Amino acid sequence: MTAPRFAPLAWAGIRLGWKRKLPLLLLYTLPVGWMLFFSAQIFMLYGAEQGMSEIGGPMMRAMITAKRIFKITLDVKFLISTFFLYSRLFAVLLIAWFGCGLLCEDRRAGAHVLYFSRPLTRLDYVLGRWCTVFFYGALGVIVPGMFIVGSAAWMSPDWQFVRDEGEAVWGTLAFGFLTVAFYSTLSLAVSAVASKKSFAMMAMFALVLLPHALSRILARLLGERAWRVLSPLTSLGKVGNHFLDVRQQFYQWPTWWSAASLCAIMLVCCCVIAVRIRRWEVVA
Amino acid sequence: MQPVVRLDDLSVSYGSVRALADVNVEIAAGTTGLLGPNGAGKTTLLKVLLGFLRPQGASVDVAGHDPSTRAGRLGLRREVGYMPEGSCLLPQMNAVETVATLGRISGMDGPDAMARAHEVLDYVGLDEARYRDVATYSTGMQQRVKLAQALVHDPPILLLDEPTNGLDPKGRIRMLDLVSTLATEHGKSVLLCSHLLPDVERTCDHVVVLHQGHVRAQGTIADMTRGDGNWLKLELTDPAQADTLSDAARAAGMELENPGEGLRVRLPAGIRDADPLFRVALDVGVTIAAVEPTTRSLEEVFMQLLDEEPAR
């Protein structure tokens, strides 16, 4: 079986990103921290549920006491949803760092001409770049999410978590995939338009945070929470929680509204990328 | 011989600006220079050959592939190596990574691409510097990497856009030698796009001259620089007899010039050999030591073509 045509380009991008170790260290510190924090919570909650005070030391004993007093119930899916909620801004930063420079730096250096003169279609080129940014995004979002799920599966007695809540594994994958795919596409769209990586990063943050702020203001002014559907951050949470089957008291609008909002943004991004890349090829 | 590139009725416009108009070109195997001043349409022609631009109604054939179809574009890009004019190397990558990556994108597997990258970097003469970030390279080194990446997948056709741009005289000669050996020793067909006439004259057998989107001339350099046939360059045994011969030749309907670098004679129209001249010389007792047809430099031909109105 031969590798797809975009694979060498994706691999080259991944290797290039790997060369700069300090940004990698800084950008992945928080996702790894959250991952360990939530995994530890799961470890302690399962331990507390099973009364394993002898193996956990004072922390475990405190957890067991707290669990009895406050009647804490273990909800792994809720914890995963909370992990995605906490790490969403870092996901934006992470993906912006790796994705925003990919197309505009190619353009600035003139490297796109070398790629277009190879047996590579424009779609292959974009897919190659998209896979690069998706890889780094997945390392910061999907891998920690799956690690938390794995912790729950490993800690639950007789793989009870997998047997009872196996759909949470797919839900976590889908939530992570949606988050990374959305931001990866957005980062490539702004990179296709911007002349420099720094401008593209600013544009990406603006495109994520301004609609979020605007949607909150509209929701407050008009007294209708459904306006929050305009925020990609909120819509990602809504659709992701739907995948995880987490009850959502706050998001009182149909899930498909959020899905449609995200699809519309992604469609616009794809159109922007397609138009820009076509133009680059002609004026190469 | 089957041409490697054939263009029929090719016209390309950018909005209201016509970049190429009714271009009919056949490029044979070997080295061909694509000549023209800035804005002549050279780069547009290269874009068509690479399938970046898809003109309607024209027939384009590059190594048997039709760039107007997706399969044709992918096929021809396997057969063509392109060296762009401007800067195109990504910083943070060294030459080996750059060339090997582009080899893999061209369809080679990883180990082959790496081995071939070293081979072509050896060929262009990039030694230990190949492991350095390309951002630290001189212009000459960058040009060599650009040539190496065009060669990595061993294409039979090379499109080289101003390969000597920014090179010092030594680097320029080295680059032109590399280009020449690609055709003569490695059997590549090279299309050298340049506005530097000496570069083209040194490396190419054929030229295509473009001006204002029109093909002004195409053919071998030897044919183009040959004189009009009626002018001959003379060398006399005794240069002091030039005036004697001049008077006798004029009387016989020939025209003689003495422009400084030698005596030239124009034979009467319709006469293709120098026999009448020898007869005149014999009559007046002048001995002719040598006769050869006059040639024009490529620059003279080029300047003349640019001054002509395009045929419509």
Burial A229-268 (b: 16+ CB within 10 A, else e): bbbbbbbbbbbbbbbbebeeeebebebebbbebbeebbee
> Does residue B53 belong to the interface with chain A, where contact is any CB pair within 8 Å?
yes
* Res B310: pLDDT: 60
Quote the pLDDT of residue B1: 64
- pLDDT at B243 exceeding the cut of 90: no
Gap between the Cα atoms of B260 and B271, Å rounded: 25
Q: CB-based contact (8 Å) between B16 and chain A? A: no
Q: How many Cβ atoms are within 10 Å of B172's Cβ, its own excluded?
A: 20
Q: How far is B155 from chain A (nearest CA, A)?
A: 11
Q: How many angstroms separate the CA atoms of B175 and B84, rounded?
A: 14
Worst-scoring range by mean pLDDT, A41-55, B7-21, B71-85, B226-240? A41-55
All residues of chain B having their beta carbon less than 8 Å from the beta carbon of residue A19 are: 92
Query: CA-CA distances (angstroms) from residue A170 to A133, A167, A240, A244?
Result: 22, 5, 11, 8
The top-scoring range by mean pLDDT among A61-65, B202-206, B277-281 is B202-206
Residue with more model confidence, B243 or B121: B121
The answer to whether A49 contacts chain B (CB < 8 Å) is no
Stretch among A58-72, A213-227, A270-284 having the lowest mean pLDDT:
A58-72
Q: How confident is the model at residue B123, as a pLDDT? A: 92
Token couple for A75 = 């909800």
CA dist A197 → A123, A177, A189 (Å):
22, 24, 12
Instruction: Give yes or no for residue A276 having a pLDDT over 60.
Output: yes
pLDDT score of A51:
63
Mean per-residue pLDDT over chain B, rounded: 87
What residues of chain B lie within 8 A of the CB of A119, using their CB?
74-75, 77-78, 105-107
Interface touch B47/A19, C-beta < 8 Å: no
Please give, rounded to a whole number of angstroms, the shortest distance from the CA of B78 to a CA of chain A. 6
B186 to B30, B31, B152, B178: CA distances (angstroms): 10, 12, 13, 10
Whether residue A109 and residue B88 make contact (CB cut-off 8 A), yes or no, is yes
Distance CA A92, CA B142 (A): 36
- Read off the pLDDT of each residue in B189-204 and give the average, rounded to a whole number: 90
* Residues of chain B above pLDDT 70, percent: 96
The span from the CA of A240 to the CA of A243, in Å, is 5
d(CA A239, CA A256): 8
Nearest CA in chain A to B147: A114
Helices A76-99 and A21-49 meet at what angle, rounded to 10?
180
For residue B194, list its beta bridge partners: B35
Predicted local distance difference test score (pLDDT) of residue B195:
84
How confident is the model over B171-193, as a mean pLDDT?
91
Is residue A111 less than 8 Å (CB to CB) from chain B? yes
The answer on pLDDT for A70 being more than 60 is no
| pLDDT score recorded for residue A67 | 62
To the question of pTM greater than 0.95 for the whole model, the response is no
Which of the pair, B60 or B253, is modelled with greater confidence?
B60
Mean predicted confidence (pLDDT) in B288-309 = 79
Taking only the tens place, the pLDDT of each residue in B46-94 is 999 998 888 877 889 998 899 888 899 999 999 999 999 888 888 889 9
Cα–Cα distance measured from residue B162 to residue B141, given in angstroms and rounded to the nearest whole number:
15
pLDDT at A245: 85
The C-alpha of A112 sits at a distance from chain B's nearest C-alpha, in angstroms, of 8
Q: Tokens at residue B21, please?
A: 């108009």
Which pLDDT score is estimated for B228? 63
Confidence of residue B311 (pLDDT cuts 50, 70, 90): low
DSSP state of B108: -
Question: Which of B44, B105, B109 has the highest number of chain A CBs within 10 A, making it the mutation to test binding with A?
Answer: B105
**Residue B233: pLDDT band with limits 50, 70, 90:** confident
Give the C-alpha separation, A49 to B279, whole Å: 123
Cβ neighbours of A284 in B, within 8 Å: 47, 52, 84
Q: Which of B57-71, B215-229, B284-298 has the highest mean pLDDT?
A: B57-71
Token look-up 């396997």 returns: B78
- Of chain B, the percentage scoring pLDDT greater than 90 comes to 35
CB A115 to CB B149 under 8 A? no
The highest-confidence range among A187-196, B162-171, B237-246, by mean pLDDT, is A187-196
Section B4-13 average pLDDT:
90
Instruction: Tell if the CB–CB gap between A282 and B102 is shorter than 8 Å.
Output: no
For residue B270, give both structure tokens: 């319709």
Residues of B in contact with A121 (CB under 8 A): 70, 73-74
The verdict on a CB contact (< 8 Å) between A282 and B52 is: yes
Q: Name the band, by pLDDT with cuts 50, 70 and 90, for residue B278.
A: confident
For residue A20, list chain B residues with Cβ-Cβ distance below 8 A. 92
Does this complex have an ipTM over 0.85? no
Asked whether the predicted pLDDT for residue A53 surpasses 60, the reply is no
Q: What is the pLDDT of residue B121?
A: 94
State the pLDDT confidence band at B232, using cuts at 50, 70 and 90: confident
* A284 vs A115 pLDDT, higher one: A115
B105: tokens are 């994108």
Q: Nearest chain A residue to B110 by CA: give it.
A: A8
The residue to which tokens 């809504």 are assigned = A238
CB contact under 8 A, A9 and B101: yes
Whether residues A119 and B104 touch (CB distance < 8 A) is answered with: no
Q: Identify which of A9, A15, A105 has the shortest CB distance to residue B105.
A: A9
**Region of poorest pLDDT, from A69-83, B7-21, B203-217:** A69-83
Residue A147's Cβ-side half-sphere holds a number of Cα atoms within 13 Å equal to: 20
Residue B59: phi, psi to the nearest 5? -110, 120
> CA nearest B214: which of B45, B5, B14, B40?
B40
Alpha-carbon gap: A168 to the closest alpha carbon of chain B (Å): 38
φ, ψ for residue B287, nearest 5 deg: -100, 125
B-chain residues near A102 (CB < 8 A): none
Interchain CB distance below 8 Å, A111 and B47: no
Of B86, B92, B107, the CB nearest to A19: B92
User: Is the predicted pLDDT of residue A54 greater than 60, yes or no?
Assistant: no
Q: Indicate if the pLDDT at residue A185 is higher than 90.
A: yes
Query: Which residues contact residue B140 at a Cβ distance below 8 angstroms, ignoring those fewer than 6 apart?
Result: B166, B167, B168, B171, B175
Residues of B in contact with A5 (CB under 8 A): 105, 107
Interface test with B, best of A19, A114, A122, A132 (most B CBs within 10 A): A114
**Nearest beta carbon to residue A111 from set B70, B90, B107:** B90
Q: For A226-251, write each residue's pLDDT tens digit.
A: 889 999 999 999 999 899 888 777 77
Whether residue B127 is predicted with pLDDT greater than 90 in this model: the reply is no
* Subunit contact A113:B47, Cβ cutoff 8 A: no
Q: Decide if pLDDT at A72 tops 70.
A: no
pLDDT at A56: 58
Q: What is the pLDDT of residues A106-133, one digit of tens each?
A: 999 999 999 999 999 999 999 999 999 9
Cβ distance B52 to A284 less than 8 Å, yes or no, reads yes
- The torsion defined by the Cα of A141, A142, A144 and A147, in degrees rounded to 10, comes to 170
CB atoms within 10 A of CB A61: 13
Task: Tell me the pLDDT band of A68, cut-offs 50, 70 and 90.
Answer: low
- Min Cα separation A163/chain B (Å): 42
List CB contacts (< 8 A) between B92 and chain A: 16, 19-20
